Amino acid sequence: MSEGHNAVVADPAWAAAAEAIVRAGRRMDQRGWVPATAGNISVRLADGRIALTRSGGHKGFLNADDVIEVDLQGRPQREGDRPSAETLLHCQIYGNFPAAGAVLHGHSVAATVLSMATKASALYLADYEVQKVFEGQTTHAARVTVPVFDNDQDIAHLSRSVALYLDDMKAGYIIRGHGVYVWGPTMDVALARLEGLEFLLACELERVKLGVPTRIAEERL
């Protein structure tokens, strides 16, 4: 069993991961994306360990002690540690994408409201320059589909729905009335994609208020 987060001095890689998580939480809080105790944040270290926020607590005021270690099955590596209920969704991303190094989950007003404005299983983004921040995108003249899954307190069940579409998500996914999941090879890239997605959802919400219909994709893929 790892002693990771108890040995910061002796474990600079863990300390760096914890620090990246603390800073990401502060940033997400400044943007209003982690209200109350919402959201969770993780990093995968080069050696495969996963550093993840503990269950509960405000993500804008984290310190290194609020970051715990889990394995790829989401099991805490130290007795008594309680990971977030949504740990499985983080681990699913790491399991599916060998290059994923950081996962962010936040709750914004725009993501919440837009996903509740339709029963559709996907939204799409198009014609925005900022789309280029997403995986493999080189032009605004494209359509990026963002799957929307119904919220479910049974995370194992939710993760099975997500699994079917995971390979084709350029910009992450949305859980209806709940929030977004975004990832990247590094925390900086994951944060840039989160900001890009939230910016575009904020634009879409304004456009719906101007009378433009919600842009619904026929299918998730």
> Are 107 and 179 a contacting pair, CB within 8 Å?
yes
Residue with the two structure tokens 């002690």: 65
Among 3, 37, 63, 119, binds its own copies (CB under 8 A): 37
Name the minimum Å distance from CB 155 to its own copies. 12
119 is a site residue for its own copies (CB under 8 A): no
| Rounded CA separation 57/196 (Å) | 26
Q: Is 187 left (phi over 0), alpha (psi -120 to 50) or beta?
A: alpha
Residues forming a β-bridge with 50: 44, 70
Contacts of 83 (CB under 8 A, 6+ apart): 52, 54, 55, 68, 70, 74, 76
Contacts of 13 (CB under 8 A, 6+ apart): 45, 46, 47
Residues in the interface with its own copies (CB under 8 A) total 45
* One character per residue 162-191, x = contact with its own copies (rule: CB under 8 A): -------------xxxxx--------x--x
Residue 107 assigned ligand-binding role: yes
Residue 140 assigned ligand-binding role: no
Report the residue number, 95 or 177, with the smaller CB distance to its own copies.
177
Name the minimum Å distance from CB 139 to its own copies. 5
* One character per residue 56-75, x = contact with its own copies (rule: CB under 8 A): --x-----------------
216 is a site residue for its own copies (CB under 8 A): no
Query: How many CA atoms, within 13 angstroms, populate the side-chain half-sphere of residue 190?
Result: 30
Residue with the two structure tokens 């879409």: 204
What six digits make up the tokens of 104?
């962010």
* One character per residue 82-111, x = contact with its own copies (rule: CB under 8 A): -------------------------x-x--
* One character per residue 138-157, x = contact with its own copies (rule: CB under 8 A): xxxx---------x-x----
Phi/psi of residue 9, each to 5°? -60, -40
> Are 35 and 67 a contacting pair, CB within 8 Å?
no
Among 19, 26, 55, 128, binds its own copies (CB under 8 A): 128
Among 45, 64, 72, 117, binds its own copies (CB under 8 A): 117
Specify the 3-state DSSP secondary structure of 164.
Answer: coil
Contacts with its own copies, residue ranges (CB under 8 A): 32, 35-38, 58, 107, 109, 112-113, 116-117, 127-130, 133, 138-141, 151, 153, 175-179, 188, 191-193, 195-196, 198-199, 202-203, 205-210, 212
Binding residues for Zn(2+): 105, 107
